[in-house]
Amino acid sequence: MSKDLSAIRQIRLGDELRSWRLYNNKTLTEVTAGLKGWNAARLSRIERAHQQISAADLKMLLDHYGIEGQEREDFEGLLSDGPTKQWWRNLDFADSITAAFAEYLALESDASHMQEYFPSAFPGLLQTEGYAKEMIAAGLSAPSEEQIETAAEVRVLRQRRLIEEPALNFEAYFGELALLVGGDQQVLADQIRHTIKVAQYHHVTVRMVPLSAGRQGILNSGIVLMRFPDDPEEGFVFVEAVGGMLPRRTGRDVRRAERAFARVKRCALSPEDTITALERKLEELT
């Protein structure tokens, strides 16, 4: 088995183990009581995908649970994936990346298709370094200069997903308000130029939701829907909140996100009209 599970499979394995335990009305303490080297805290970390599990340890756990046949094969199958591309581990400031954000980065690295919408800013995978710094500095956490530099660098490095293979199919949506929010005019002009450039990638779609769309085109917050090659029908949702992007992983959450993006699509300009609107704004700025 590879040392690192893909993020989505690690999460699914943890979810399945937890679901089995709860279905059988077992507590963490009860199921680990007779397992050498195990305790409730360790199993909890595995179930929450905060700690990986080896093939040997999974075998021990499944033997202890008495899981056999197809159900056992399903559990073991979740260990057969390749390694997660945890590129941020080699950064000088890797220790400053929180566990929650690391999970987001891992899922983003594994995703094959991604939809992202923000009502008043360009999505992160489109942001230039200068624009990213402005957005991060405007956050509620009042970050230091060092924190702004670090966060902006990570945001730019994440954009390698748009040029590496296999290509990420990326749909980016942003509200027209992103063109109207005050800030350095040169930074905005550079951001628009960069967005127009990235929009030419064959696997990237960029669409703007105009103010004329009214309430129908405005969601209350930013939202990201990721899908994965081994399970394209399901996905993982992140919703923008004060503390960052909150994960949502149930089927109901995915269906809600699908409906939200369907609404945004109906209201958004076509990719061609979006480029025209961006070019018009660029002329105003220059």
Cβ 107 vs Cβ 161: under 8 Å: no
Higher pLDDT, 140 or 146: 146
- pLDDT recorded at residue 152: 93
**CA-angle at 201, arms to 274 and 225, nearest 5°:** 75
Instruction: Say what percent of the chain tops pLDDT 70.
Output: 90
Q: Where are the domains of the chain?
A: 7-77, 87-285
Strands 231-241 and 244-248: antiparallel
Whether domain 87-285 has CATH 3.30.870: the reply is yes
Q: Which fold has domain 7-77?
A: 434 Repressor (Amino-terminal Domain) (1.10.260)
Most confident of 8-12, 16-20, 144-148, 168-172: 168-172
pLDDT (tens digit per residue) in 43-67: 998 888 778 888 889 999 999 999 9
Tell whether the torsion through CA atoms of 91, 228, 131 and 147 is positive or negative. Answer: negative
Mean of pLDDT values over 72-77? 83
Q: What pLDDT band is residue 3 in, cutting at 50, 70 and 90? A: very low
Element (H, E) at 75: helix 69-77
Across the beta sheet with 223-228, what order do the strands follow? Answer: 204-209, 169-175, 113-118, 223-228, 231-241, 244-248
pLDDT (tens digit per residue) in 184-232: 999 999 999 999 999 999 999 999 999 998 877 677 788 999 998 866 6
Mean of pLDDT values over 19-32? 90
Residue 88 token pair: 């941020």
- pLDDT recorded at residue 106: 82
Residues comprising the chain, all counted: 286
**Is there a shared CATH topology between the 7-77 domain and the 87-285 domain?**
no
Global pTM value: 0.75
Does the pLDDT at position 79 exceed 80?
no
pLDDT (tens digit per residue) in 241-260: 655 666 676 678 888 899 99
d(CA 55, CA 199): 43
CB contact burial 51-86 (16+ within 10 A = b; e otherwise): ebbeeeebebbbeebebeeeebeebbebbebeebbe
Q: What pLDDT band is residue 113 in, cutting at 50, 70 and 90? A: very high
Q: Which residues contact 219 (CB under 8 A, 6 or more apart)?
A: 117, 119, 260, 263, 264
Burial class of residue 284, CB neighbours in 10 A (0-12, 13-18, 19+): exposed
